[in-house]
Chains A and B, each alone.
Chain A
Amino acid sequence: MTLESLVLTLVKSLILMFALLTGFAYLTLFERKVVGRIQVRLGPNRVGPFGLLQPLADGVKLLLKEDIVPAGADKIVFFLAPLISVVVALMGFAVIPVGPTVSLFGQTVPLYLTDLNIGVVYLLAVGSLGVYGIVLAGWSSNNKYALLGGVRSAAQMISYELALGLSLMGVVIITGSLSLVDIVNAQERYPFILVQPLGFLLYLIAAIAETNRAPFDLPEAETELVAGYHTEYSGLKFAMFYMAEYINMITVGAVASTVFLGGWRGPFNLLNGPHWLILKIAVFMFLYVWLRASLPRIRYDRLMRLGWLVLLPLGLLNVLLTAIGVLILG
């Protein structure tokens, strides 16, 4: 690896990190605003114009909070759990192509961090690593509510991971590649949602479960488990769990856009570029917030039943149908 490409990768990582963390900060504000308006309230509007400095105020507040470690907690694991969550959440975005290859300062710069030939598998692997942060947080807190939240998270992850993986396999069969760059390139003529509507729907549902968002937010179910796995966390560590959750949302939205909606490609390749990806992610974020504001939390046994008895068979069916289709047409 030459020095030039090393510097380039570093710069790209830094930009990506900055974008993700800023995205996280403003996603919290966006969510509070949208949920507020849905509940016929205004949402935060006191800090800065339209409340635009609210994330900053929240951050400062959380930084200055006392960092509490409960008695009897496993201190090392208690400290590591939020780190695992955040690091793993940030890792996912590395394989997502943000835009086409462009020339900057006389150099050709591909707008992705790496073109991993097993990108889809990497995403699924990194996504399931995220559950370790939550399970370990629940276990190390020495608190029954936290433990229950952690256990639920593990059970939920197992139930939905298969459906999540299978929902992407249809697209992988069509393109014959696990690289996300190849998948975007294969959508030059039409986005895959047109041929994989079932896969798209399955991914959307499984992804909400994967990010522990309402109506699948059982691990933190505040009505029954206080705050679930992060009951005992405060200050910056608490903020890190939030960071992980929202960055996971962004990543999941980006994957859905990339795999099913053509990623950075505009409709009919109009004005291709990163702005299309951002727009598509924004639509998914709105959808997530909208669902959260509308749907009650699903009961635990029904969540498992939905995962195993509905989503998984449908995922298998989708793979089968896609395979037959590819066999006949291709």
Chain B
Amino acid sequence: MVSALLSDIGGLAKGLKTTFQHLFRPPVTFQYPEVKRPMFPRFRGRHVLRRYENGLERCIGCELCAGVCPAQAIYVEAAENTDEERYSPGERYAKRYEINMLRCIFCGYCQEVCPTEAIVLGHEYELADYDQASFIYTKERLLEPWPPQGAPAAPVR
């Protein structure tokens, strides 16, 4: 009984010693809004619709992304390119391209299925907003700006 008591006290002392030592470790906290965690290169954040180097949109309006999306968050409406109004190199382009960010689960199937690598998941993750309507990301918000400004939104693989 005495030995059991002693081993109990030993256990207590060991636990207390451990927590006391932790007191002097540097905290692992990131001071978030000021300091951000380093991001992994394959992080899946907000989508970006990419362009070719000459400024033409990569998206050809095939709707594969809309079809594969498990959350049915993507809506694509395709239209024909004409010689006067040309958006993408092929026959068709996306006239409307909308992603509902409230439904999106960031699985990345859309970027995997895309035949032209037009849609990729970028590194932006601060997507909070005040009303539901602003979570419908339209083509204008998703498309890379042209001419290019600063660094690309996602690294080109």
Q: Which residues of A contact B (CB under 8 A)?
A: 34, 36-42, 290-291, 293-295
Contacts and interface: CB of A to CB of B under 8 A. Distances in A.
Contact of B12 (A41, A293, A295): A295
B28 A40 contact: yes
Nearest to A46: B31
Interface string B70-94: 0000000000000000000000000
Interface residues of B, number: 14
A42 B15 CA distance: 21
Interface string B1-22: 0000000000010011011101
B22 A38 contact: yes
A39 B23 CA distance: 8
B54 interface: no
B15 A295 contact: yes
Interface of B: 12, 15-16, 18-20, 22-23, 25-29, 31
A200 B27 CA distance: 34
B16 A290 contact: yes
Contact of A37 (B12, B15, B16, B22): B22
A38 B15 contact: no
A36 B19 contact: no
Contacts of B23: 34, 37-38
A40 B15 contact: no
A290 B20 contact: yes
Contact of B25 (A34, A40, A295): A40
B27 A41 contact: yes
Q: Which of B19, B22, B26, B31 has the most CB of A within 10 A?
A: B19
Contact of A41 (B18, B19, B28): B28
Nearest to A45: B31
A291 B16 CA distance: 7
Q: DSSP majority for the A interface?
A: helix
A302 to B, nearest CB: 11
Contacts of B20: 38, 290
Nearest to B25: A40
A319 to B, nearest CB: 21
Contacts of B31: 42
Nearest to B12: A295
Nearest to A287: B16
8 tightest Cβ-Cβ pairs between the two chains A and B = A294-B19, A42-B29, A42-B27, A38-B19, A294-B15, A38-B22, A294-B16, A37-B23
B27 A40 contact: yes
23 contacts: A36-B27, A37-B22, A37-B23, A37-B27, A38-B19, A38-B22, A38-B23, A40-B22, A40-B25, A40-B27, A40-B28, A42-B27, A42-B29, A42-B31, A290-B16, A290-B19, A290-B20, A291-B16, A293-B19, A294-B16, A294-B18, A295-B12, A295-B15
Contacts of A39: 22
B154 to A, nearest CB: 32
B150 to A, nearest CB: 31
Nearest to A293: B19
Contacts of B27: 36-37, 40-42
Nearest to B22: A38
A148 B26 CA distance: 40
A293 B16 CA distance: 9
A40 B27 CA distance: 4
Contacts of B12: 295
A293 B22 CA distance: 11
B22 A41 contact: no
A290 B15 CA distance: 10
Contacts of A38: 19-20, 22-23
A80 to B, nearest CB: 38
Nearest to B15: A294
A194 to B, nearest CB: 21
